[in-house]
Each structure stands twice: as structure tokens, then as C-alpha cells.
Structure 1
Amino acid sequence: MTKFSISLFAAIAVLAGLILAYNSSALTLSPPLYEIGAMPGQTLKTGLKVFNETDKANTFYFEAQNFTAKGEEGDPYFVGEIGKEDLASWIELPGPIHLESGELKQVEFIIKVPEKADPGGHYAAIFLSTSPPSLEEGGAVGLAAKIGTLVLLKIGGEVIEEGRLIEFGLVDGKRIFEHLPIDFLVRVENLGTVHIKPAGTIEIRNIFGIKTVEVKVNIAKMPDGKERPVGNILPESIRKFESSWQASEAENQPETFWQKVKFEKENFAFGRYQAKLDLDYGAENDKKLTAVLSFWVFPWHLILVSFIVLVLVLALLVFSIRRYNRWIIKKSKSKFS
């Protein structure tokens, strides 16, 4: 199972966190993520849907801000550098819009790509708020009462697509486990000039080389029911993805001995396993990142109880056989006396 992580889920979660003064159903701006391509000098026209779900009319204001990657979780960091010549300054937004309660409106915005725009990735967010655009001290964007849409623009030309696998390991660093789940950690660095979206599988085989399970990495089910890659990695940034091999969902970790026995039975695995990572990325999905690791699963609580039960059963069987033999011998002697 893939845990998820700029993915569609991350975009929704981060931008939803910017709302603050609203709750999640107060105002809807869709789609939450645009991934588009263009050539230098090209003009793009596209639109957004704005839905006022509050119980009163209001006036809303648009603004655009560039963003970069922050940390390894896929979170965007919004910057408000005045005069910064990049995607935010290429976007022409509509003026303030007035929406009645329950009103849905389609608004258009234009992206005018300069003739001398650098090939590769350019990133901005379109925000909608109840107050005119403003910058806080230090150039950071004032984030109160805002929702937004991320725009990932890829400008054609001499684009470099290059990713490097920094780490393929286990989340807690262990190599011996008592039970499932087994949590895998994948860290990828983008050395290119455009965002990449590595996605694939971790194939797990047992000690006999038999395929046990296949775990998805950076793949999620979309509203239409189809599975697609979700998490982008921006240029000059690192992103981590976590995926898990598990048999059942567990709300709490077991604490007592017998709880651990039950948990190991429900999340059973035994022996040495090999996990092979296979990720694809690139415009043609023709670039690969691969790695292999091994680990052990030894459910000793369950094995100990099973061993004790087996010994008791064998002891009972031996005792029963001996008692039966003595009864047969005794019966035979009494018959011939």
C-alpha cells in the first residue's frame, strides 16, 4: 500500500491548510492542480471553477505566487518576491469576483510565456481570498483565509530529465521484524530542469524466490477509479515516498504477550524476503531507478506458542499411545491366564 508523496493529494492537503478562516466546505476552487505544457512565446488560456458554499455573498480576489519545494514531504513553499520574472508574473488573472451564496462561476486566466523563457519547469499557485493581495514582511505570502490551485508549467526545449535514487530502505532502519507491516522508504533527487514523477512497484519474494506481494510506490487511485502516479519532484529538490506491505489495518500496536501472538497471526510472514524497487519516470516513462534489499520476518511470540502447543500435543499423544499399549498388554495377559 502506498502512503503517500507535489502530489494531487499533497496539493489538496497543503492548500486546504491555507484556508484557516474557512472550513473545508466554505469555498471550492477546482481543479486543485494544473500540469500543463507550453513553448516559449505561447499564450495559454484556461479556467477555474469557483463555488461559494458559504451562507452569504462575498467578493473574492485573485493573486499568483511562485513556489518552490519545501523539505522532502512534497510541500510547496510560496514566495512573494516582487518583480520576480517567472510563472507568477506571466499569469494574467481576472479582477475581483462577486459570488452569491451557493453560486458557481467559471473564471478564465491567461498564461503569456515570454519568448526567452527558459525551458524546463516553472511553478506558481493561483490564490483566491476575501482580501486584496498583500505581502508580509520578508516577502512571504500572507496565507490567512486563502485557497489555491497549483500550476506546474513545463516549457519545451532542451529539457533535462534526470533523477537519482538516494535511498531505498526500511523506515525504522531494522532488518528483522516480528510481523507485518513492513514500511519501505524511497528518496529520490531531481537533478534535472523539470519536475519528474517517479512511480512503480516494490516486488517482494520469499526465500524460495516465489513472488509474495507487489507494493505500489507513488501511485494512488483517482476519483475515476484509475490508478495514476501522483507525487511530483521539483528540480533541485529531494522527495521521499513511503510504501507499506501489510496484511490488515491496525489501530493500535499490541502491548501484551497474547496481543502480540494474535497480531502476529493476523499479520503473518516468516523467513527471509527480498524486495526489488522498480521506478519509471520521464516524459516517455523510459527512465528507470532500481534497487534491491533484503529483510527477515520472525514472529517469535506466535512460534513460541505454537511450539509449546505442539510439544503438549506430542506429549499427550505419546502418553495416550503408552497407556493404550499398557492396556493392550494387560488385556492380552488376562486373556491367556
Structure 2
Amino acid sequence: MKKLLFTLVFLLFPLFVHAQESIIQVSPAIIDEQAKAGDIFKYKINIKNLSDSRKANIYAAVNDITLEEGGQVFANPGDLDNQTSMAKWIKFKRGVIELMPGESTQVDLEINVSSTALPGKRYARIALPIGSNKGIAHGSMRETSYTEIMLSFNIVENVFEKAQLVGFNSLSNAYMDGPARFSYTVHNAGNRDISPKGAIYIYNRRGEEVASVPINEETSFVSSGEDWEEIVEWAGATKLGKYKARLEIEYGASGLRDLQDTVYFWVMPWKILLGLFGFMFLILSFLIILIFRKTYSYHHHEAEGGHHVVRAKNEAENNGVLNLKE
């Protein structure tokens, strides 16, 4: 499979490798990888001077390869940005590499794929021309043969889906009129747009589900790095009591993930409260009247009893009779 990929690269993008005519041999001469943004690749490049009499001073040149009508174009790293320039991701010795006749060496090659790299095919080459100085070596590439390392990277999209539930609240602790209203905020911490779906489930004090209210019915999307807030209403908040609202959110195209939170609130309709207070007022008024009547009857009876005793005493005194019991 690897050989087939290399063959296709050569068929589609002929780069005129001059390794057979050059006295420099390099291994590996072709590097083909699949990568994601932020990946790091490290290689050991073996370079050998095949001449048995000539010293080689090598000055590496790194270029991007872009495709245009009619063939490929070698571009300088400065011509492309960090998202698309593979040459900018390459770390390779740029100073002179000296090899005596028949001598070999190893040079480190490191490729740091940019964290902002865009998906797609990227091509580059590391040319290894020979010359007495850098200017002569690079200038000779137009006329003389040289060895090069071909690089082909297929950058695949690094999908990272992550959302955070920033907050879930009831807009009031108690509702006396109208619908119960809830707000929630979702933050997209990933690199792909998400569309949160789900519902707010309402439970009474006995833990029974009494309603569910869908969220994001218009299928709005939250862009990467942004916050999104929605206010949801429950029109069924008409019965007196304490309730629990549970928010359940699902998101993600590559695999569903969920977010959850819970809030508590009271429903106290003013009509029911008014009726309850009116009933309590009537009960209280009745109790006050009842207590007042009992108190009045008791004092009236006491007053009449005392009046009869005084009359009997006066009559006894008038008759000269002493009531010992008195």
C-alpha cells in the first residue's frame, strides 16, 4: 500500500529526482504521511557521498510544491501562510553538510504540522545541491543534477467537539402568574459548530414528570469559541407547588454527548393564593367572632350572679338575719 501511494505521488507530481546523476544518496527519499493539525513527526535522514574522490558541501533548500495548470510550482515558504505552507513546518539543517568521499552522516528532520493547518494535501521538497557556498549550490540547481527528499502530507480534519453548560437558571424562584421561564447558556469549546438539542423536564414534588419543553427548536448552531443563550418557557405553570426542572442537552455529529443540570422553583398562582387567603380570612374571622361571643357570655353570666348575691345580702341585713355562709 505504501509503495502504491509513493508511485501515485510520482505519477501525479513528477518532481524529476536526480539521485542517479548526483553523487549524493539519501534515505528515505520519499516521506508520505497522513497527519492532523498539531502532529509532530521526527526522522533520521541518512546522507552518503557516493564519490570516491570528491568532497561534497551540501546546502539544503526547502520549498513548498503547489499545483497549477500544466504542472507543479516550487514556492518559497514566505509565499504561503502557516496554514498551508508545509515548508514552514520543516526543521532541517540549513548550514553546510560536509561529506568526505565515501562518508555518510545522519541529519535530523522534524516536521511540526501547524495547529492551524487546513485539511488537504500538502507537498514539499528538501533539495540537497552541492557547491562551494550556499549561493553557488542553490544557483546550480537550475543547471545541474541534485538529490532531493520528497514529502507528501495529507492533512485530515482534527474534529474536536466539546461543549460546556455555562449556566442553567430559573428566571424567578416563584411564579405567581404567566409561564415559568428558564435560561441556559452553552459554550462551544471545540473546533466544530454544534447544534444543542434536548429538553427541559418538569417534575412535581412526588418526582412525577408533568411536562417536557424542547430546546433549540429552530436548530441554531453555536460557532467554535462562542456562547449561545436561549430562554425557554413552560406555559403549564398553573398548579400550586414546588417543582424541579432538569435540563438535558445532546450535541455532536461524531457521537452524541450530553450535558445536564437541575434547578428548583415554586408555582404560586395569585388566584389560588387570593382564594386561599380569603378562605383563611373567613376562618380567622369566624374564630374571632366565636371567641368574642364566648367571652361576652361568660362575663355577662358572672355579672348577673354577683347582682343576685348582693340583693340577698341586703335583704338578710334588713331582716336582721345573719347568713353565716356569707
TM-score, scaled to structure 2: 0.38
Give the structure with the higher percent helix.
2
The structure number with the bigger radius of gyration is 2
Higher relative contact order (CA 8 A, sep 6+): 1
